[in-house]
Amino acid sequence: MAEQQKGWRGTTIISVRKGGKVVIAGDGQVSLGDTVIKANARKVRALGDGSVVAGFAGSTADAFALFERLEGKLERYNGQLLRACVEMAKDWRTDRYLRRLEAMMIVVDKEVSLVLTGNGDVLESADGILAIGSGGNYALAAARALLDQDLDAEQVARKAMNIAADICVYTNNTLTVEILDTK
């Protein structure tokens, strides 16, 4: 029981890039141990001028601190997402304050989809799909299975999230979805 009450648990964030669109979807559940604290949290948002969308898994306060840092990097590097993410990952790994932040992020623009971690990782998707959080592997597997179907990026993301919500107790089907045109 002490382990369950130790801290905030889980979420699921997925990004799907298909057919001229890139989508990030995130569930709304915030859990503390085995209790749902909030069912409609917003873990996906547009950053800066709206040309970048990000979703987070992990501590909410830490994620908002990271969103602010990333927005600053995007300003500094004229909206170049990959460059901003590489610079932020360097800071995240070496800065004493940032190193303590417990969150992961998926960030996308019209050209690239990336996962950022506190280990200094900046990972790009090989197939247009990324997922993080406690239900991330379920959503990832579902999206990969759905990718060759006659579904658009949003439909794939929504179906994958619903599958993850049916399996992962730390994920619900109250979704926030953000979409960017990639054309």
List the catalytic residues: 11
In sequence order, what are the beta bridge partners of 26?
Answer: 13, 176
DSSP 173: S
CA distance 40 to 50: 22
What are the tokens at 79? 């909206």
Asked if 137 and 14 count as a contact pair (C-beta separation under 8 A), the reply is: no
What are the tokens at 150? 């006659």
For residue 23, the surrounding DSSP H or E stretch is strand 21-26
Asked if 148 and 123 count as a contact pair (C-beta separation under 8 A), the reply is: no
User: Could you tell me which residues come within 8 angstroms of residue 118 by beta carbon, excluding any fewer than 6 positions away?
Assistant: 92, 93, 98, 99, 101, 102, 103, 104
